């Protein structure tokens, strides 16, 4: 019997107080995610239970019990507090998937500071815009990433501390830089946990929109109430599970379901700090005896591409339950996984902004491959008419996905960007920015995004950000960036570029421009293709018509050009 029992029974009188009760939380109490994920689990008698099984690509391994997690997060929290970091200060985690990332995350929350995780693959420009927006006080990083911080630090007077967790004493540290080695510190047995409340800010995750700079999605400690219960009912986590969430905590999946949810449930999780390869993944599952696996469609499509023969080399009978998030999960992937692993990947839908799973397939429920499933109990979901924002009532009609605000993990704002936050709500609904239909039985079927944001391998890339970075290249006069179809990543970044006089459109320059973006932004944002053009299609007032270029890439009708030319 799955944890959720029967979905139909659960939705009848659902109330989030179910989760509050299980967590021992009452309205008005102190609620601190750092404490819930370590101290409380120890108090429940699981101090010696393994919390984290970690390894990297070179075969190094480290294991942590819940008591180790408690002590290490205390130690980091205490160190940060000693530097003068206060509750509410933003502390960025700019780390590979090393233990300090997971332990530091809890340490930051324990002192009431705000955790700001960022992908360590980000280049200096991507890093800068996010730190500048948050006016981040401290950054925790590794030797190999310090150069990127050094490049931008002088533009950031508020950045008081650059903490290096693996300093080896070789090259001198500079002003504001400080070494911190978890292994060399005396573990802090007792840390005074900052009394955060339900509405205290916990995590700031940056996500890309169509226009403007990335937005800092502001979450609160009360998000735990959603994250705990969704993990219990959708990921079906149980005490003896070995759980593997493949997501990097630079992405919301890697925090909500890669730190907070499993540890608040006292579940053992494993982490692999290594790049993707089908063989390495299967070996990891076999070695760690993974039972519950939460991953993403691009990874699943890559596994499909690697073929079934390779699966047979491993014993994957440990797997019990599989789920996926981040992009549309094609029906073929669901059917393939059922045949090859004996379990179908269950599709789940949510966003950085929603903080927790919203639409989902549940264990035990009838699965319709290609559908995102149904709304989580307590989540009121619909599709809305794009003009009136009234719910569509006919099954099969495509509209905008809307959620009634009120679930615990909902974002509380975009950092320093109230206007964009307010613009997300219409007629009492939060608009996710995606389109879907709902069938007669209440299953949601994703049809696409409602904006120009590119979803490449599950990661959102803003065309605006890439276009801005392209313009910084000496050869680029104009640029437009759109999604191009891709078999594995679903979408990849494609740039149309008009060159300045004196530059020759050739393959060598294409490579140079690609690398320029990779270094400045990230490998994900790097265009996979650059098409040289003499000029770009524009509206009368000079706004680039991405839609025209997009339609060409996808062999679609361009649509009504007259409105575009009038500057809709
Ligand atoms: C897309 C990810 C189709 C969607 C946790 C959404 C999906 C965006 C699915 C959020 C799914 C996520 N099917 N599309 N199951 N899950 N998406 O903020 O466009 O990085 O709005 O959070 O990913 O991406 P984000």
Which of 409, 436, 463 corresponds to the end of one domain?
A: 436
CATH number, domain containing residue 522 = 3.30.300.30
Q: Which of 436, 471, 506 is the last residue of a domain?
A: 436
Strands 321-324 and 292-295: parallel
Q: Are 144 and 269 in the same domain?
A: yes
Report the pLDDT value the prediction gives residue 557, as an integer from 0 to 100: 82
> Does residue 400 share a domain with residue 476?
no
Quick one: three-class SS letters along 27-95?
A: CCCCCCHHHHCCHHHHHHHHCCCEEEEEEECCCCEEEEEHHHHHHHHHHHHHHHHHCCCCCCCEEEEEC
Among 436, 466, 491, the domain-final residue is: 436
Q: What's the gap in Å between 38 CA and the centre of ligand 1?
A: 29
Residues with CB under 6 A from ligand 1: 207, 251-253, 325-329, 347-352, 372, 432-434, 446, 449, 455, 460
Assess if residue 218 is contained within a domain.
yes
Q: Could you tell me the distance, in angstroms and rounded to a whole number, from the CA of residue 481 to the centre of ligand 1?
A: 20
* Residue to substitute in 217, 230, 326, 398 for testing ligand 1 pocket (most ligand atoms within 8 angstroms of CB): 326
Question: 272 with 248: CB under 8 angstroms?
Answer: no
Q: What is the CATH number of the domain that holds 17?
A: 3.40.50.12780
Collect all residues with Cβ–Cβ distance below 8 Å to 247 and sequence separation of at least 6: 253, 254, 257, 258, 294, 295, 296
- Bridge partners of residue 481, in order along the sequence: 495
Q: What is the pLDDT of residue 568?
A: 38
Same domain, 484 and 536: yes
Ligand 1 centre and the CA of 350: distance in Å?
Answer: 6
Indicate whether 47 belongs to any domain: yes
| Residue 179 and residue 273 share a domain | yes
How many other C-beta atoms lie within 10 A of the C-beta of residue 152?
16
What's residue 565's pLDDT? Answer: 46
* 460, part of any domain: yes
Secondary structure of residue 509 in the 3-state scheme: helix
Does any domain span residue 253? yes
Residues 165 and 223 in one domain: yes
User: Residue 166 has which token pair?
Assistant: 């693996």
Burial 326-348 (b: 16+ CB within 10 A, else e): bbbbbeebbebbeeebebbbbbb
Within 10 Å of residue 86's Cβ, how many Cβ atoms? 12
Residue 445 within any structural domain of the chain? no
Q: Which structural domain range is residue 253 located in? A: 7-436
Same domain, 494 and 354: no
Same domain, 147 and 240: yes
Ligand 1 atom, smallest distance to 324 CA: 15
Instruction: Give yes or no: residues 204 and 118 share one domain.
Output: yes
Same domain, 334 and 255: yes
Q: What spacing in Å lies between the alpha carbon of 433 and ligand 1's midpoint? A: 10
Q: Which atom of ligand 1 is nearest to the CA of 251?
A: 20
Nearest CA to ligand 1 atom 5: 351
Q: What is the pLDDT of residue 567?
A: 42
Q: Using CB atoms within 10 Å of the CB of residue 115, give its burial: 0 to 12 exposed, 13 to 18 middle, 19+ buried.
A: buried
Ligand 1 centroid to Cα of residue 446, in Å, is: 10
Expressed in angstroms and rounded, the spacing between residue 281 Cα and the centre of ligand 1 is 23
Residue 407 falls inside a structural domain: yes
Q: What is the pLDDT of residue 421?
A: 96
Write down the residue that tokens 């029992």 correspond to. Answer: 5
* H-assigned helices in 97-256: 99-110, 124-134, 143-152, 224-233, 252-255
Whether residue 277 is found in the same domain as residue 391: yes
Do both 78 and 141 map to the same domain?
yes
- What is the tens place of the pLDDT at every residue in 108-122? 999 999 999 999 999
Distance 351 CA to ligand 1 centre (A): 5
Residue nearest to atom 7 of ligand 1 (CA): 327
Q: Does 519 share its domain with 391?
A: no
Look at residue 63 and tell me if it is in a domain. yes
Give the chain's domain count. Answer: 2
Which residues of the chain are modeled with pLDDT < 50?
563, 565-568
- 537: region left, alpha or beta (phi > 0 left; psi from -120 to 50 alpha): beta
Task: Report CA(200)–ligand 1 centroid distance (Å).
Answer: 26
Supply the residue whose CA is at minimum distance from atom 13 of ligand 1: 328
Task: Choose the residue to mutate in 256, 350, 432, 437 for probing ligand 1, maximizing ligand atoms within 8 Å of C-beta.
Answer: 350
């Amino acid at each position: 019997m799955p944890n959720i029992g029967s979905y139909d029974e659960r939705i009848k009188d659902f109330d989030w107080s179910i989760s509050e009760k299980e967590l021992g939380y009452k309205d008005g109490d102190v609620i601190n995610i750092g404490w819930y994920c370590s101290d409380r689990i120890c108090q429940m008698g699981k101090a010696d239970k393994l919390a984290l099984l970690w390894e990297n690509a070179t075969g190094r391994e480290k294991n942590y019990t819940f008591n180790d997690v408690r002590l290490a997060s205390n130690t980091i929290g205490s160190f940060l507090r000693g530097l003068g970091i206060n509750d509410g200060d933003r502390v960025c985690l700019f780390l590979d998937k090393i233990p300090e990332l997971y332990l530091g995350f809890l340490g930051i929350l324990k002192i009431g500071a705000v955790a700001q995780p960022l992908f360590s693959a980000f280049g200096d420009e991507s890093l800068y815009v996010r730190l500048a927006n948050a006016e981040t006080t401290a950054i925790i990083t590794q030797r190999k990433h310090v150069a990127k911080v050094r490049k931008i630090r002088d533009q950031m007077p508020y950045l008081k501390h650059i903490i290096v967790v693996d300093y080896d004493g070789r090259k001198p540290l500079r002003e504001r830089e400080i070494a911190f080695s978890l292994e060399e510190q005396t573990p802090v047995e007792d840390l005074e946990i900052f009394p955060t409340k339900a509405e205290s800010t916990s995590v700031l995750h940056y996500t890309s929109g169509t226009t403007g700079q990335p937005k800092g999605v502001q979450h609160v400690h009360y998000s735990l109430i959603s994250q705990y219960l969704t993990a219990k009912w959708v990921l079906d986590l149980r005490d003896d599970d070995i759980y593997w969430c493949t997501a990097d905590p630079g992405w919301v999946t890697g925090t909500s379901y890669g730190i907070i949810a499993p540890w608040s449930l006292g579940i053992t999780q494993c982490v692999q700090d290594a790049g993707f390869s089908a063989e390495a993944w299967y070996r990891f599952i076999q070695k760690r005896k993974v039972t519950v696996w939460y991953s993403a469609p691009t990874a699943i499509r890559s596994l499909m591409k690697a073929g079934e023969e390779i699966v047979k080399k491993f014993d994957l009978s440990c797997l019990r339950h599989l789920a996926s998030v981040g992009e549309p999960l094609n029906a073929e992937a669901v059917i393939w996984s059922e045949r090859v692993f004996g379990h179908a990947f269950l599709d789940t839908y949510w966003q950085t902004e929603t903080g927790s799973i919203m639409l989902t397939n549940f264990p035990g429920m009838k699965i319709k491959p290609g559908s995102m499933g149904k709304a989580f109990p307590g989540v009121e979901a619909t599709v809305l008419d794009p003009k009136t924002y009234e719910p569509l009532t006919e099954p099969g009609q495509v509209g905008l996905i809307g959620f009634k605000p009120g679930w615990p993990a909902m974002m509380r704002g975009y950092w320093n960007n109230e206007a964009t936050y307010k613009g997300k709500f219409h007629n009492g609904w939060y608009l996710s920015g995606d389109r879907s239909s709902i069938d007669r039985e209440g299953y949601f079927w994703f049809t696409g995004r409602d904006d120009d944001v590119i979803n490449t391998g599950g990661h959102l890339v803003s065309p605006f950000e890439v276009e801005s970075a392209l313009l910084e290249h000496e050869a680029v006069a104009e640029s437009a960036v759109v999604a191009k179809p891709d078999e594995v990543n679903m979408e990849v970044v494609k740039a149309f570029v008009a060159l300045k006089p004196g530059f020759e459109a050739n393959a060598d320059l294409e490579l140079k421009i690609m690398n320029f973006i990779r270094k400045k932004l990230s490998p994900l944002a790097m265009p996979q293709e650059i098409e040289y053009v003499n000029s770009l299609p524009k509206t009368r007032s000079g706004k680039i018509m991405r839609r025209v270029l997009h339609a060409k890439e996808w062999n679609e009708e361009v649509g009504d050009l007259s409105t575009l030319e009038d500057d809709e």
